[in-house]
Chains A and B, each alone.
Chain A
Amino acid sequence: MGGYILKRLVSAIPVLLGITVIVFLIMAMIPGDPATAILGSYATPENVEKLNRDLGLDEPLVARYFIWLGNMLQGDFGRSFALNRPVLDEVLDRFGATLILAGTSFVLCAVFGIMAGVVSAARQYGFADKAITFAVLLGISIPSFFLGMMMILIFAVKLRWLPVSGMYAIYGGGDLPDLLWHLLMPALALAVVATGVVARLSRSAMLEVLRQDFIRTARAKGVNERRVVWRHALKAAMVSIIPVLGIQAGFVLSGAVYIEMVFQWPGVGRMLVDAILKRDILLVQGGVVFVAACYVLFNIAVDVAQSLLDPRIKT
């Protein structure tokens, strides 16, 4: 198993390098002089020249890439000009908040999505199936940012059950219950679309599996139906559900950008949008590379989980 994880990690190196190349090339598309773009139009000539030197902006493209890559490998993602602090520090600060939000949503979408899918398949064409199918359709059609706004309107403004926005109460907050209190609505809003997708996929994966011969064998053994569905069928269906969970993690991370804007959640997504609007290029660049790299590593974890479940995968 350890060998397998190592192998997957090694195979991720080219992907991670590819990500840096792509981000670098996109940033090289910036029209005009990059130093001016980074510093804004009020930059002094001295500052422009200093930045050119620091980032090697007067070097050829390839050399610039390696300078940038080398700096990043040493933990130097550059400096945010709008915030006047190192990019990596800012990204790490914000990433924690995103991780809490997206991680919670991911768990919610996995648990509820799979459960809904299994129930839906087990009661195919029954009332529960129809109700779930309709809810799923609604869930995957509603834009998460609109859903978030409507939830604020209903649960925070009208009913006053939950806080409108933010991660902690401004006065007297800061502990875990306060965090969970603030987390509930954004996490649910973010989870809805992914839950719908997971439920849909789980349903069809379960229907596929429930027709298999080994399910008939389990029934012939006298295994009761609940166990047939939740153990035998679900375990086999997980083989096709887990890769989808990996993809959904990417969607949850993407949706987090909107939800962070709607709920004023101090995460990486909001940071990126603010940075784009302020033309804080280095912060965008560093943030994108960092989050994409984390996503690649997460997908390795998904592969490892898959290999733990399915002994037929050669480890």
Chain B
Amino acid sequence: MKTFFKLLIRNRLAAAGGIALLIVVFLALITPILPLHPPNVTDTANRFQPIFSEGHLLGTDHLGRDMLSRLLWGTRLSLAVGFAAAIFAATIGAAIGIVAGYFGGATDNVIMRGVDMLMAFPYILLALAIVAALGPGLVNALIAVAAVNVPFFARNIRGVTVGIAHKEFVDAARLSGLSNTRIILTEILPNVVPVIVIAMSTTIGWMILETAGLSFLGLGSQPPQADLGSMLGEARSALITNPHTSVVPGVMILIIVMGINLLGDGVRDALDPRLRSGALTRPMASTVVERASPAPAAHAEGVLTMTDLQTQFHVGERVYKAVNKVSLHVAPGECLGVIGESGSGKSVTALSVMGLVASPPGVIVGGSVRYKDEELIGARYDKLRSLRGDRVAYIFQDPLATLHPLYKVGDQLVEAIQVHHKVSRDEAWKRAVDLLKQVRIPNAESRASTYPHEMSGGMRQRVGIAMALANDPDVIIADEPTTALDVTVQAQILSLLNELRRERGLAIIFITHDFGVVAQLCDRVAVMYAGRIVEEGQTDAILADPAHPYTRRLIACVPELGEGRRRLEAIPGLPPAVDRLDPGCAFAPRCLKKEAACVTREIDLAGNGTRAVRCLYPETDIGREAAE
């Protein structure tokens, strides 16, 4: 609650709206004791006095009545009527909603059908019909506006009540023999009241506006009594000759409604956790690069080489070091596996290559990524875009979310081709069908015309692969492409990727958390932990003889078929949060071999040309191994 008010006050616009409203309400409350002219006494000798004239701060209207006095009395009336309408609508609507939601079944059905019917009207038609039946007048306008808003409350409150009516405490009350009325009053109502209040605060501005509108049409308050709407309505005939009589009440309505809207928006923003966490910020076209030092030289040869790549997430004051000086490289025809638990930074590493890390909050703060001889970190957007999908392509996890739901898969492939090649649609479509055939999709011609939701998970993933292959890229970065699939489909997809690599000399970076998959596909493997590479080397060497304790335990997590002698060991604990890393080895808190030296200083990734490990007490001496 405290943070809520803090947020609300920090929102300057909301605060301004709130203050404006408070002043208006205060003025309306003290109107009777202010030294004002009587609002309804006419003085036709002094009609249409301008603003700031003697004795009449806001001038006089067409009957010589003091505008300031009429404005304040009118504001008082408008606020009162709007508020009363809101109370009526909320009370009746909530009662209907609670009854419908609590009793359910046929009661609910009948009531909600009725509510739907009411909502089928443009609101003013209903209000006009009610006023037509009851006759013009302020009370009747109030009834009409309240009635028109009842369905809105009924529907909202019903939804909330349905959620509550089946909670344990309500069942308990029922079992203890309480009557329905008691349960509604003591158990349901207290839980629904906050929702009613919020719904009221969002609609009260509307109700003030609607009653003012009916009065403006001459259907609400009748002379000589005037609310803001009827003041405006009466002033309309003198609009051209004496505009101030229209402007004064109009601006007051504007101030009131705007104040309510500003305050309402502020409340909504302060209550919305997604806004606070920044989950509603838009990711930019490419990841922000804020480099502290110039790009380092490439550490190795390869078609794609990352050197000391650093990607962070900046959330408020916190800095999450998701990728902490990672160096990787991959050669044509080679498959590099990057393995780690969720949160180890492997996906962020992959996305950093083409600037696809969502930003904000992602920022690339250092390092280099080279495609052949081109530096990609900090490259111009156009350069990056021309390489994306053309030379370096991605395959993502969960193709239901990663394919556009409203485009046919064929069209999505066509687009991938046409973005980089000037070919006709027909030609691109033919090529798209070819691609679908290459990834072994049966009936490729007709499948091209289906939507993603009409395909199975395996088929969708094949489409994802086809899309990555569309422009015959040099590098494919596959980010857990098989995680969402069942084992048989997974095996098919892996062998498909393997074939493509051999046929086309593709370089593949394969991100996974599964050592089984790495063993099937990858030549080399890099193990990531807490944003760093902790071990790197040839896949078979690491599998046979892991050097880092973490790698060893990760391999021990993989169940073996048929043998079953070895104990399947989970790693106790969780990976550390990367916003407050202690110096030294990040795995130390979970490591069985931890020594004091492990956490005193940074540990280098040390090794020979083919293997490296970031550990002071490795499980195996990789230097000796290489010498043998």
Contacts and interface: CB of A to CB of B under 8 A. Distances in A.
A270 to B, nearest CB: 9
Contacts of A255: 124
Given A29-B133, A30-B133, A224-B385, A295 B453 contact: no
Listed residue (A28, A217, A220, A261) with the most chain B CB atoms within 10 angstroms of its CB: A220
A254 B125 contact: yes
Interface in B448-472: 451, 453-454, 467, 470
The 5 closest A-B pairs by CB, nearest first: A18-B117, A254-B124, A146-B250, A141-B258, A222-B389
A128 to B, nearest CB: 13
Contacts of A218: 404, 415
Given A213-B401, A221-B416, A149 B239 contact: yes
Given A122-B282, A152-B239, A217-B396, A295 B120 contact: yes
Interface in B425-482: 451, 453-454, 467, 470
A262 B236 contact: yes
Interface stretch (B214-222, B532-540, B557-565): B214-222
Given A18-B116, A157-B240, A222-B420, 9 more contacts: A122-B282, A141-B258, A146-B232, A204-B280, A211-B280, A213-B396, A217-B467, A285-B129, A295-B122
Nearest to B241: A157
B566 interface: no
Interface in A199-233: 204, 206-208, 210-225, 228, 232
A211 B282 contact: yes
A95 interface: no
Contact of A222 (B120, B133, B390): B390
B402 A214 contact: yes
A108 interface: no
Interface in A281-311: 281, 284-285, 288, 291-292, 295-296, 299, 309-311
B59 interface: no
A220 B129 CA distance: 56
Interface string A43-57: 000000000000000
Contacts of A296: 120
A91 interface: no
Interface in B243-279: 243, 246-247, 250, 253-254, 257-258, 261-262, 265, 279
Interface string A220-251: 11111100100010011001000000000111
Contacts of A232: 404
B456 to A, nearest CB: 16
Given A235-B406, A309-B406, A253 B122 contact: yes
A220 B354 contact: yes
Contacts of B407: 235
Contacts of B390: 222
A257 B217 contact: yes
Nearest to B286: A219
Contact of B113 (A18, A23, A219, A295): A18
A10 interface: no
Nearest to A238: B406
A168 interface: no
B394 interface: yes
Contact of A254 (B122, B239, B265): B122
B467 A221 contact: yes
A273 B219 contact: yes
9 contacts: A18-B113, A22-B121, A142-B258, A213-B396, A220-B388, A222-B385, A273-B218, A281-B132, A311-B406
B86 interface: no
Contacts of A187: none
A276 B131 contact: yes
Contacts of A30: 133-134
A114 interface: no
A285 B126 CA distance: 10
Given A143-B213, A214-B403, A223-B415, A312 B129 contact: no
Given A153-B240, A220-B389, A124 B114 contact: no
A146 B253 contact: yes
A152 B404 CA distance: 47
B544 to A, nearest CB: 35
Nearest to B281: A124
B133 A19 contact: no
Given A18-B117, A222-B389, A216 B396 contact: yes
A299 B257 CA distance: 29
B494 interface: no
B60 to A, nearest CB: 19
A236 B387 CA distance: 26
A253 B127 CA distance: 13
Contact of B401 (A208, A214, A228): A214
A218 B403 CA distance: 8
Given A145-B232, A146-B232, A272-B128, A27 B133 contact: yes
A167 interface: no
Size category of the A interface is: 35 or more
Interface string B383-416: 0011111100110101001111111000000011
A309 B406 CA distance: 7
Interface in B278-307: 279-283, 285-286
A27 B131 CA distance: 10
B234 to A, nearest CB: 12
Listed residue (A31, A142, A146, A218) with the most chain B CB atoms within 10 angstroms of its CB: A146
B209 interface: yes
B129 A207 contact: no
Listed residue (A142, A145, A275) with the most chain B CB atoms within 10 angstroms of its CB: A145
A134 to B, nearest CB: 9
Contact of B246 (A149, A210, A309, A311): A149
B358 interface: yes
B134 A29 contact: yes
Contact of A312 (B213, B219, B453): B453
B439 to A, nearest CB: 16
A101 to B, nearest CB: 14
Listed residue (A222, A255, A261, A288) with the most chain B CB atoms within 10 angstroms of its CB: A222
A150 interface: yes
A268 to B, nearest CB: 10
A288 B120 contact: no
B118 interface: yes
A21 B451 CA distance: 43
B123 interface: yes
A82 B71 CA distance: 36
Given A262-B236, A273-B128, A211 B261 contact: no
A18 B240 CA distance: 44
Contacts of B122: 249-251, 253-254, 291-292, 295
Contacts of A309: 406
A277 B218 contact: yes
A14 B109 CA distance: 14
Contacts of A279: 135
B51 to A, nearest CB: 15
B130 interface: yes
B128 A217 contact: no
B419 interface: yes
A30 B133 CA distance: 5
B394 A250 contact: no
A164 B240 CA distance: 10
A143 B254 contact: yes
Contacts of A281: 132-133
A261 B217 CA distance: 8
A292 B356 CA distance: 49
B212 interface: yes
B360 to A, nearest CB: 9
Contacts of B403: 214, 217
A284 B405 contact: no
A90 to B, nearest CB: 15
